[in-house]
């Protein structure tokens, strides 16, 4: 291979690695770690990948930090060409602990010892459900703003929704918590897919709204703090 | 007091600190990480004109505190809510001696709340009884993410925590301010979960539970709990500086709080010295919900007066000059002859 071919191969692999990381989501914020700028650097040397992650504060919750870092390692290891994958979390109060655990593939319990009980699947599910609630609220509130009455929202089905980003976001979040996406299915449902009684719709919409606002607020905090901490340009959405 | 457009506002800053994070007081790297995190909050959310140099931010001292709050900050009364952080700082983060002496010298302006940690067991309970007497405590600040030995956090519904809350109730320490930090153990669950507030609020109905940061980052769980429990209140620390950087987002937070828990259970706080109160008070008085957020009603002057001071004054029995009080709604007698 020539030097140019080599470079091309590295560039292609680097792009693939970044694209793989797009699938890793901050569970609390429901956004990819690449969009959040949590990936500080990504280097490909041959078939080895070294990734450094960073978070908005030293005191971000270590369970979420570990989830993102171990998910990042998993998606890179899953690429067919990778040989050695190193993921390190920088500047966190648990950096040493988490990085040792990742390097040794020690798993969650092996990394955190007595502080871990079973696994992080329940934590992940809690936030997947919140993400579904928020995505659902966005779609429903848009209908209300366009003139729908809250009392009628129970009749809205997936087939009624426009084919756009907000709908696609909702469908992805439904799939993530195991809900089917057939056209005839109702949109305004709880995490098991059950509809609410009409009398409960106003309260359920308010509850969903507070979930959406909470998630969005955390995203504001995290983006702002990360930008300040690492002197990045901040984009206010 | 703050006056604008012919309206007067009695200001209670319900969450302030006098901290020492200077290098000589840092026990380890976490002491530096902690104050750096605070400083990033400060830099990110303050207007540029209000940003302090890092060196000044490490320790503000009593004189500056009095100036920032009472000379230029419009504050009538402020309440210390100290965090101990003994694992991070040699002499603790909140300065007990200095802050309590300041409160003693200015009882009309300052109230000193102390803190406890139930992991100190019997010895801590004894200490709590002594502290209650020494500081004449009306309230306490609890930081559930405090590290202690190999434990990195606790829950309000832990058995030992119940012992302390029972003692607080008996000692007349009525106002429990809770800072839900990222509690680590067990890591399997959400570190910011506020479900333990629900339990203790149900079991200690004589106590007030003020959840700082209005439950952020779990506003939704907090609002739901506060709706069920009449003794749960929201502290605006950390949420209110959004008024500058993201006013539309702040409008949604305050709109949610007013919807779920109402205007009588929300307290202003600057979280000094995270932020200074002057600009927060001025901006809040000027603030209005943007018209595009039609799902929220506009803020009224009376709501602002309650949030900025009257609510916390009522909780702490802080005297409010008659002309700054709001006429209280007396229950109407039925069928007056």
pLDDT in tens, A195-208: 999 999 999 999 99
Domain range enclosing A140: 121-228
The interaxial angle of helices B121-135 and B159-171, nearest 10 deg, is: 20
Is A236 a domain residue?
no
Nearest residue of A to residue B153 by CA position?
A115
Q: Using the beta-carbon criterion (under 8 Å), do B256 and A210 form an inter-chain contact?
A: yes
- What's the farthest any 2 CA atoms get from each other in chain A? 70
Instruction: Tell me if chain A has a CB within 8 Å of the CB of B44.
Output: yes
- Claim to verify: residue A194 and residue A134 sit in the same structural domain: yes
Whether A51 is in a domain gets the answer yes
What count of residues does chain B have? 337
* Total Cβ atoms within 10 A of residue A1: 8
Chain B: give the shortest CA distance to residue A226, in Å. 9
Q: Is residue A36 one of the residues assigned to a domain?
A: yes
pLDDT in 10s for each residue of chain B, 337 residues: 999 999 999 999 999 999 999 999 999 999 999 999 999 999 999 999 999 999 999 999 999 999 999 999 999 999 999 999 999 999 999 999 999 999 999 999 999 999 999 999 999 999 999 999 999 999 999 999 888 988 888 999 999 999 999 999 999 999 999 998 666 667 887 878 888 999 999 999 999 999 998 888 889 999 999 999 999 999 999 999 999 999 999 999 999 999 999 999 999 999 999 999 999 999 999 999 999 888 899 999 999 999 999 999 999 999 999 999 986 555 444 444 3
In a domain, A113, yes or no: yes
- A67, A149: one domain: no
Last residue of a domain, one of A67, A99, A118: A118
Q: Do B190 and A126 touch (CB under 8 A)?
A: yes
State the burial class of residue A126 (Cβ atoms within 10 Å of its Cβ: 0-12, 13-18, 19+): middle
Q: Does B249 touch chain A (CB under 8 A)?
A: yes
Q: Could you give the angle at the alpha carbon of B254 between the alpha carbons of A31 and B146, nearest 5°?
A: 65
Residues in chain A closer than 8 A to B216 (CB atoms): 214, 217-218, 221
Residue of chain B with shortest Cα separation from A230? B40
- The whole-angstrom separation of Cα B20 and Cα B13 is 20
Over pLDDT 70: what percentage of chain A?
98
Whole-number Å distance between alpha carbons of A172 and A181: 9
Give the residue from A64, A93, A118 where a domain finishes. A118
Asked if residue B103 lies in contact with residue B139, where contact means CB atoms within 8 angstroms, the answer is no
- The pTM score is 0.92
Residue contact A218–B216, C-beta within 8 A = yes
Strand, coil or helix: what is B19? strand
pLDDT recorded at residue A237: 46
- Residue A35 and residue A111 in one domain: yes
User: Does the distance separating the beta carbons of A112 and B187 come in below 8 Å?
Assistant: yes
How confident is the model at residue B214, as a pLDDT? 87
Q: Are residues A12 and A72 in the same domain?
A: yes
Q: Which long-range contacts (CB under 8 A, 24 or more apart) does B319-323 make?
A: B320/B10, B321/B10, B323/B8
Of A206, A214, A221, the CB nearest to B218: A214
**Residue written as tokens 């978070």?**
A55
Co-location of A94 and A142 in the same domain = no
Smallest CA–CA distance, residue B111 to chain A, in Å, is 29
DSSP state of A185: S
* Angle, alpha carbons B280-B71-B75 (nearest 5°): 45
Is residue A73 domain-resident? yes
Q: For residue B212, give both structure tokens.
A: 């700082």
CA distance A233 to A54: 16
Residue A233 domain-assigned? no
3-state DSSP of A128-168: HHHHHHHHHHHHHHHHHHCCCCHHHHHHCEHHHCCCCHHHH
Task: Write out the H or E segment, with its range, that includes residue A86.
Answer: strand A85-89
Mean pLDDT of chain A: 94
Supply the pLDDT for residue B183.
65
A53 and A158 belong to one structural domain: no
Do A110 and A128 fall within a single domain? no
Nearest Cβ partner of A217 from B145, B219, B224?
A: B219
Candidates B27, B28, B40, B189, partner chain A, best to mutate (most A CBs within 10 A)? B40
Rounded to whole angstroms, the Cα distance separating B214 from B227 reads: 13
What is the model's pLDDT at position A151?
96
The CATH number of whichever domain residue A29 belongs to comes to 3.30.300.130
Strand, helix or coil at B254?
helix
- Specify the pLDDT at position B332: 47
Residue A154, domain member (yes or no): yes
Of A91, A118, A145, the position where a domain reaches its end is: A118
Same domain assignment for residues A76 and A132: no
Q: Do A117 and B191 touch (CB under 8 A)?
A: no
Predicted ipTM of the assembly? 0.88
pLDDT at B243: 96
Work out the pLDDT band at A235, boundaries 50, 70, 90: low
User: Are the C-beta atoms of residues B124 and B162 closer than 8 Å to each other?
Assistant: no
Q: What is the pLDDT of residue A8?
A: 87
Residue B126 touches chain A, beta carbons under 8 Å = no
Query: Is residue A108 located within the same domain as residue A164?
Result: no
**A126 vs A137: CA distance, rounded Å:** 17
Q: Do the domain assignments include residue A234?
A: no
| Nearest in space to B254 (alpha carbons), one of B212, B301, B214 | B214
Provide the 10 A C-beta neighbour count for residue B323.
Answer: 8
Q: How near does any CA of chain A get to the CA of B143, in Å?
A: 14
Centre a 10 Å sphere on the Cβ of residue B58 and count the other Cβ atoms it contains: 21
3-state SS class at A230: coil
Report residue A236's pLDDT band, with 50, 70 and 90 as the boundaries. low
Q: Helix, strand or coil for residue B80?
A: strand
Residue B39 neighbours by CB under 8 Å, 6+ apart: B54, B57
Residue A110 and residue A10 in one domain: yes
Are A160 and A215 contained in the same domain?
A: yes
Instruction: Give me the number of domains chain A comprises.
Output: 2
- When scoring B87, B187, B262, B271 by the number of chain A Cβ atoms within 10 A, the one with the most, hence best to mutate, is B187
Q: Which residue has the higher pLDDT, A234 or A191?
A: A191
What count of other Cβ atoms lies within 10 Å of the Cβ of residue A142? 15
Residue B316 CB coordination number (10 Å): 19
Residues paired with A39 in a beta bridge: A53
The answer on A113 and A131 residing in a single domain is: no
Tell me the C-alpha distance between B270 and B58, whole Å.
17
Place of tokens 């209000």: B50
H-state helical runs in A42-103: 62-77, 95-103
């Amino acid at each position: 291979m020539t030097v140019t071919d080599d470079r091309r191969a590295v560039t292609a692999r680097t792009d693939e690695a970044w694209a793989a990381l797009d699938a890793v989501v901050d569970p609390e914020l429901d956004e990819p770690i690449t969009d959040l700028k949590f990936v500080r650097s990504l280097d490909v040397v041959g078939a080895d990948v070294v990734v450094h992650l960073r978070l908005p504060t030293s005191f971000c919750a270590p369970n979420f930090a570990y989830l993102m870092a171990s998910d990042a390692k998993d998606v890179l290891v899953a690429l067919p060409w990778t040989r050695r994958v190193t993921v390190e979390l920088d500047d966190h109060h648990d950096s040493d602990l988490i990085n040792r655990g990742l390097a040794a593939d020690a798993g969650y319990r092996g990394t955190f010892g007595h502080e871990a009980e079973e696994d992080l699947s329940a934590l992940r599910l809690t936030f997947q459900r919140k993400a579904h609630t928020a995505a659902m609220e966005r779609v429903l509130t848009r209908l209300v703003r366009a003139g729908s009455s809250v009392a009628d929202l129970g009749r809205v089905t997936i087939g009624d929704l426009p084919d756009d980003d907000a709908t696609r976001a909702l469908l992805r979040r439904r799939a993530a918590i195991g809900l089917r996406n057939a056209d005839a299915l109702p949109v305004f449902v709880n995490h098991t897919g059950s509809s609410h009684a009409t009398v409960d719709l106003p309260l359920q919409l308010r509850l969903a709204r507070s979930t959406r606002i909470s998630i969005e607020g955390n995203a504001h905090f995290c983006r702002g703090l990360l930008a300040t901490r690492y002197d990045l340009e901040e984009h206010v959405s | 007091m703050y006056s604008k457009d012919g309206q007067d506002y009695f200001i209670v800053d319900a969450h302030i600190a006098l901290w020492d994070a200077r290098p000589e007081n840092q026990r380890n790297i976490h002491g530096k990480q902690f104050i750096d995190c605070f400083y990033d909050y400060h830099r990110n959310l303050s207007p540029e004109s209000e940003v302090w140099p890092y060196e000044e931010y490490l320790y503000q001292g009593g004189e500056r505190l009095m100036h920032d709050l009472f000379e230029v900050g419009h504050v009538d009364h402020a309440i210390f809510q100290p965090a101990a952080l003994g694992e991070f700082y040699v002499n603790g983060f909140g300065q007990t001696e200095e802050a309590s002496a300041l409160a003693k010298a200015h009882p009309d302006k300052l109230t000193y709340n102390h803190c406890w940690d139930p992991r100190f067991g019997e010895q801590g309970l004894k200490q709590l009884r002594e502290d209650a007497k020494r500081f004449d405590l009306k309230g306490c600040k609890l930081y559930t993410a405090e590290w202690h030995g190999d434990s990195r956090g606790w829950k309000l519904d832990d058995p030992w925590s119940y012992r302390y809350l029972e003692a607080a109730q008996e000692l007349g320490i009525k106002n429990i301010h809770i800072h839900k930090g990222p509690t680590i153990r067990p890591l399997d669950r959400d570190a910011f979960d506020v479900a333990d507030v629900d339990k203790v609020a149900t079991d200690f109905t004589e106590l007030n539970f003020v959840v700082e940061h209005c439950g952020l980052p779990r506003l939704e769980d907090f609002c739901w709990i506060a709706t069920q429990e009449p003794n749960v209140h929201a502290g605006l620390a950390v949420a209110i500086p959004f008024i500058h950087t993201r006013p539309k987002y702040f409008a949604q937070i305050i709109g949610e709080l007013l919807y779920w828990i109402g205007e009588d259970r929300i307290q202003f706080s600057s979280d000094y010295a995270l932020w200074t109160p002057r600009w927060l008070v001025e901006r809040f008085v000027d603030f209005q919900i943007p018209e595009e957020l039609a799902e929220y009603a506009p803020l009224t002057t009376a709501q602002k007066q309650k949030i900025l001071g009257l609510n916390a004054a009522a909780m702490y029995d802080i005297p409010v000059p008659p002309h700054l009080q709001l006429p209280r709604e007396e229950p109407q007698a039925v069928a007056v002859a």
